[in-house]
């Protein structure tokens, strides 16, 4: 019999709403509610789904077994640490934090208590569904574009930590070695953070990656081109399509899989499977999320150096 877990969400923004709806609709999960420092926002998300609005974090943590932290990124470590201290398993939306040392302390705290700490790099499940994590080859070149129009969301961090970090996580899964150099240039937005960035990263294996992100674009664009010695793969993440000239047996029907149609649901299901002991690990571990954060901060430093 599947263990019923009480799920709750910290943060009543857009992503908090996504997570709340997932918990409310998942088998084996009882949706407890949402904590937010603005109780009316918590109520607007939680109550239509049958959950409670919590204005006190301690009371919220007493009512849950598993927690999604979907607050602004600058609060991720602090709130996830509170949940870990209360003995709760935690899924943190990306980025895992904004400082590597703080994120490492969070990872160590979860490991010490034997708790699952996962991070929401959801494009990983799409890569896995395509078969790109099982090629056995290290690419020579990876180019990605992740553009979107201006939005009030995630303005506490740069486009590197908001957008590029998705592709940095994917890059690290296929790189096969450690990064060596990071260079870049960017455009600062009105709030003093990078709203556009272009980075070039090299790896010990010889792989070169060129990543381009923008929160100032006229329309959304999410593409990636991966060049191997045997051919190349071009992915359109919005259309959920790819072109493949390699001999790799990628899944042509991946767009109809649960991972492609609902990446968040697949990622959360992986988290819950790890919590229940049905899987050895979540889709993205804390250590992997920290590696992506570390590389993102190196890119930000490169932007500062070039300014």
Supply the pLDDT for residue 10.
Answer: 98
Supply the pLDDT for residue 190.
Answer: 86
CATH 3.40.50.720 domain position(s) in the chain: 5-120+264-283
Supply the pLDDT for residue 3.
Answer: 77
Percent with pLDDT over 70 in the chain: 99
272, pLDDT greater than 70: yes
1, pLDDT greater than 70: no
151, pLDDT greater than 80: no
Supply the pLDDT for residue 31.
Answer: 98
Supply the pLDDT for residue 165.
Answer: 97
pLDDT tier at 52, thresholds 50, 70, 90:
very high
Please give the average per-residue pLDDT across 217-242, as a whole number: 95
230, pLDDT greater than 60: yes
Please give the average per-residue pLDDT across 209-219, as a whole number: 96
Supply the pLDDT for residue 2.
Answer: 59
Residue closest to 275 by CA, chosen among 21, 26, 13: 26
Side-chain-side CA neighbours of 289 within 13 Å: the count stands at 29
With b for 16 or more beta-carbon neighbours within 10 A and e for fewer, the 243-255 pattern comes to ebebebebbeebb
Please give the average per-residue pLDDT across 175-188, as a whole number: 95
Alpha-carbon 303 to chain mean position: 22
251, pLDDT greater than 60: yes
Question: What pTM value is reported for the model?
Answer: 0.95
Supply the pLDDT for residue 258.
Answer: 87
pLDDT tier at 154, thresholds 50, 70, 90:
low
CATH 3.30.360.10 domain position(s) in the chain: 123-255+292-306
Name the CATH superfamily, with its identifier, for domain 5-120+264-283.
NAD(P)-binding Rossmann-like Domain (3.40.50.720)
Which CATH architecture does the domain made up of 123-255+292-306 adopt? 2-Layer Sandwich (3.30)
247, pLDDT greater than 60: yes
Name residues whose C-beta falls within 8 Å of residue 230's C-beta, 6 or more positions apart in sequence: 137, 246, 247, 248
pLDDT (tens digit per residue) in 74-132:
999 999 999 999 999 999 999 999 999 999 999 999 999 999 999 999 999 999 999 99
Check the CA dihedral 39-119-23-262 and report its sign: positive
Min mean pLDDT across 1-15, 98-112, 176-190 is at 1-15
161, pLDDT greater than 80: yes
Supply the pLDDT for residue 282.
Answer: 98
In order, the DSSP letters of the chain are -PPPEEEEEE--SHHHHHHHHHHHHSTTEEEEEEE-SSHHHHHHHHGGGT-EEES-HHHHHHT-SEEEE-S-GGGHHHHHHHHHHTT-EEEEESSS-S-HHHHHHHHHHHHHHT--EEEE-THHHHHHHHTTTS-----SEEEEEEE----STTTTS-HIIIIIHHHHHHHHHHH-S-EEEEEEEEEE-TTSSEEEEEEEEEETTS-EEEEEEESS-SS-EEEEEEEETTEEEEEETTTTEEEE-SS----TTGGGSHHHH-HHHHHHHHHHHHHTTSSSS-SSBHHHHHHHHHHHHHHHHHHHHH-
């Amino acid at each position: 019999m599947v263990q019923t877990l009480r799920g709750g969400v910290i943060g009543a923004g857009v992503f908090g709403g996504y997570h709340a709806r997932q918990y409310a609709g998942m088998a084996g999960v009882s949706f407890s509610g949402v904590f937010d420092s603005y109780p009316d926002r918590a109520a607007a998300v939680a109550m239509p789904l049958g959950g409670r609005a919590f204005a006190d974090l301690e009371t919220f943590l007493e009512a849950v077994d598993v927690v999604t932290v979907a607050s602004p990124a600058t609060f991720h470590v602090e709130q996830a640490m509170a949940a870990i201290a209360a003995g709760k398993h935690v899924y943190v939306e990306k980025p895992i934090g904004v400082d590597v040392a703080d994120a490492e302390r969070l990872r160590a705290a979860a490991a010490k208590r034997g708790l699952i700490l996962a991070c929401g790099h959801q494009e990983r499940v799409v890569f896995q569904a395509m078969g790109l994590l099982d090629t056995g080859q290290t690419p020579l070149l990876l180019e990605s574009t992740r553009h979107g129009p201006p939005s009030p969301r995630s303005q506490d961090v740069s486009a590197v930590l908001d957008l590029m970090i998705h592709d940095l996580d994917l890059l690290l899964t296929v790189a096969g070695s450690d990064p060596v150099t990071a260079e870049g240039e960017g455009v600062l937005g009105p709030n003093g953070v990078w709203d556009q960035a272009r980075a070039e990263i090299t790896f010990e294996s010889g792989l070169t990656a060129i990543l381009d992100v923008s929160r100032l674009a006229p329309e959304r664009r999410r593409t990636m081109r991966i060049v191997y010695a045997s051919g190349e793969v071009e992915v359109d993440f919005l259309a959920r399509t790819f072109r493949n000239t390699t001999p790799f047996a990628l899944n042509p029907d991946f767009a109809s899989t649960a991972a492609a149609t609902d990446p968040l649901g697949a990622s959360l299901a992986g988290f819950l499977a790890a919590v229940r002991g049905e899987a050895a690990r979540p889709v993205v571990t804390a250590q992997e999320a920290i590696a992506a954060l570390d590389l993102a901060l190196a890119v930000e430093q490169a932007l500062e150096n070039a300014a």
